Amino acid sequence: MLKNITIGQYFPGNTVIHKLDPRIKIIITLLFIISLFIIDNFLPYLFVSIFIFTSIFISKVPFKFILKGLKPLFFIILITFIINVFMTKGEILFEIGPLDVTKEGLKLATFMALRLIFLIIGTSLLTLTTSPISLTDGIERLLNPFKRIGVPAHELAMMMTIALRFIPTLLEETDKIMKAQMARGADFESGNVLKRAKSLVPLLVPLFISAFRRADELALAMEARCYRGGENRTRMKQLILSRRDYIALGISILLLGLIIVDRLL
């Protein structure tokens, strides 16, 4: 039952978007988010949609996957929309009971909803087209310059790598413990929420103990392989920026520029 959980939501592919340097992809996503927050009217959303939908088209990620990313946040979008509709003062269009629906409110609500939707689509596209490993790699290298002010870039990346490495192992283990406890009559499926939470104790205790033991052994194994932190460490895979990275970055800066110009005009 736990077998079919995948880590992240990476959609493997071999397109230009997939091949972009992870650092560049992270920066582009950040620029994209900044653009979204600069926008103050509807016209620039046209540029944003052209940009994002072209990217999705090039990446060959089925649109279905993008929508899947939106689904869990549907209620947040809806609540934001409703609150904005009713809470904004202005020219009244019609009334529902004690609540007024204003023209400004409707406009602002649509505006905010669009912002959220684009935000989610943009970040999903990043995680859909970048494997967790290269994402980690990208984050480590982007944070590298901040090491001097005490950002533990290497340690963070190492923690993420180890977490990714051990998620499947621990899932497998959970499955095993669950079956073992069920064989001894443990019941994980019936009862109310409180009872079910309680029934998880015999699952979590052995899982934690085993996780600590694994951590201990892993630390020993890492030391035996000469690990001593990020100092003087080299990497087999070098990230090298190619022309397509510069082009992609250029396009996103252009988008940001357009939106800033629009805002100032």
Partner 1 sequence: MSDVMIKLENVTYKYESNENEGVVALNGINLSINKGEFVVILGHNGSGKSTLAKLINALIVPTSGKVYVNGMDTQDEENIWHIRRTAGMVFQNPDNQLVATIVEEDVAFGPENLGIHPKEIRKRVNEALTAVEMEEYKDYAPHLLSGGQKQRIAIAGVLAMKPECIILDEPTAMLDPSGRKEVINTIKKLNREENKTIVHITHYMDEAVEADRVIVMEKGNIILEGTPKTVFSQVEKVKQIGLDVPQVTELAYMLRKEGIDIPQNILTIEELVSAL
In the complex with partner 1, the residue whose CB is nearer, 155 or 172, is 172
In the complex with partner 1, the residue whose CB is nearer, 1 or 46, is 1
Compute the distance between CA of residue 181 and CA of residue 17 in angstroms, rounded to an integer: 46
- Please report how close the Cβ of residue 232 comes to partner 1 at its closest, in angstroms: 4
In the complex with partner 1, the residue whose CB is nearer, 226 or 265, is 226
In the complex with partner 1, the residue whose CB is nearer, 149 or 224, is 224
By the criterion CB under 8 A, which residues form the site for partner 1? 132-133, 161-162, 164-165, 168-169, 172, 214, 217-218, 220-228, 232-238
- Please report how close the Cβ of residue 262 comes to partner 1 at its closest, in angstroms: 42
- Please report how close the Cβ of residue 170 comes to partner 1 at its closest, in angstroms: 10
- Please report how close the Cβ of residue 135 comes to partner 1 at its closest, in angstroms: 11
